[in-house]
Amino acid sequence: MDLDLKAVKQQLRSRIMEERKAIPDKRRSALSAQACSYLEQLEELKNARAIMAFHPFGAELDILPFVDQARARGQEVWLPLTLTAEKRLVPYRYSGPEMLKQGVYGIWEPDPTRAEKAELSMLDAVLVPGVAFDLRGGRMGYGGGFYDRFLAALPRRPFLVGVAFSMQVVDEVPREPHDIGLDGLVTESGFAQS
């Protein structure tokens, strides 16, 4: 990666993460609830057999109300286990908080001894976390490349939707050839198709 691009990404990542952290808890909860209501209305998610989600971490938008609602609808929800040494994500079927453990960076993730591995061929949709997004499918994560590697290795492309606060949306996310574009983005303001 070119050093200028790396510096631009790092500056953007730091700025957005600081601003996101500054959102008061009560407001974060209200904005998260609004975003979850838009997720619940998306046809691509309503019709999905299996949805890979993520456990919110730190100041991320809280998608757990959507996760609970999807499970109540009878859908299979997966959460990823981060294997840092192998630089990859392994999804497991989410059966409730009792199957989680605190993992990398303090993120709650599946405990392989209490969880069942997901069947990748069933995956219809992925809720993708990140730091910054644009409205053309661009996404900048935390810098590890875990999601891009995971998505590139799937047997078929699922519906990919970013989930974030509208303050995380920028004019243009710096992109590299290996970055996988999203199909859309959900914020507290609604759904924007890429």
Q: Is pLDDT at 3 greater than 70 in this prediction?
A: no
Q: Provide the pLDDT for residue 178.
A: 84
Q: Provide the pLDDT for residue 96.
A: 94
Instruction: Using a pLDDT cut of 70, give the percent of the chain over it.
Output: 98
Phi, psi of 127 (to 5 degrees): -90, 120
Instruction: Using a pLDDT cut of 90, give the percent of the chain over it.
Output: 85
Q: Provide the pLDDT for residue 4.
A: 84
Q: Is pLDDT at 189 greater than 70 in this prediction?
A: yes
Instruction: Mark out the alpha helices in 22-63 (DSSP H runs).
Output: 25-41, 43-46
Q: Provide the pLDDT for residue 2.
A: 65
DSSP 137: S
Q: Provide the pLDDT for residue 129.
A: 96
Q: Is pLDDT at 144 greater than 90 in this prediction?
A: no
Please, are residues 132 and 168 in contact by the beta-carbon 8 Å criterion?
A: yes
Distance, CA of 135 to CA of 3 (rounded, Å): 25
Residue type, 124: D
Distance, CA of 32 to CA of 17 (rounded, Å): 16
Distance, CA of 174 to CA of 8 (rounded, Å): 8
Cβ neighbours of 41 (radius 10 Å): 12
Q: Is pLDDT at 6 greater than 90 in this prediction?
A: no
Mean pLDDT of 26-41: 97
Distance, CA of 81 to CA of 112 (rounded, Å): 8
Please, are residues 184 and 191 in contact by the beta-carbon 8 Å criterion?
A: yes
Whether the full predicted model's pTM is greater than 0.85, yes or no, is: yes
Q: Give the contacts of 19 (CB within 8 A, at least 6 positions apart).
A: 167
